[in-house]
Amino acid sequence: MTAVRDWAALRAFALGLGLPQVEDAVSWGNPVLKAHGKLWTWWAPQTYADAPIFKVAVDERDFLLDAAPEVFFITDHHRPHGLILMRPEAFDSGWARSNLFNVWRRQAQKRFLKEWDAQNADRFAEFGHQP
């Protein structure tokens, strides 16, 4: 388990994945990371939760909330969106790595992804995937 207790640690973890087309940005006055020009991951301001936020499908979110409430949670503010929050003290680096990779792929243009896949087939295993 990797200690990710603030934005700096989440940013370092996500950038440490070494995926291209990831950049720092600001959204609603808060630092975020974007992948392929779209929000990728960020830290919920203390106003809401003081925790990392990840994009997920609503059905996956509901499953995670039921299966691992000690790790995942949601706030009323985030509930209408395809998002889930992770308790910093229970940060699951394996899940986060796989999720960030999946979201990064979903946000990529197909042409870019086809080229990246051809050049990086050896990297899929580090994200828990097969080419």
Please, what are the domains in the chain?
7-127 (3.90.1150.30)
CA distance 24 to 15: 10
* Amino acid in position 107: Q
CA distance 14 to 2: 12
Q: CB neighbours of 125 closer than 8 A, spacing ≥ 6?
A: none
> Can you give the pLDDT of all 131 residues of the chain as single tens digits?
567 999 999 999 999 999 999 999 999 889 999 999 999 999 988 777 889 999 999 999 999 999 999 999 999 999 999 999 999 999 999 999 999 999 999 999 999 999 999 999 999 999 988 87
CA distance 71 to 92: 8
What pLDDT was estimated at residue 45? 80
What pLDDT was estimated at residue 1? 55
What pLDDT was estimated at residue 49? 83
**pTM of the full structure:** 0.93
What pLDDT was estimated at residue 111? 97
What pLDDT was estimated at residue 28? 87
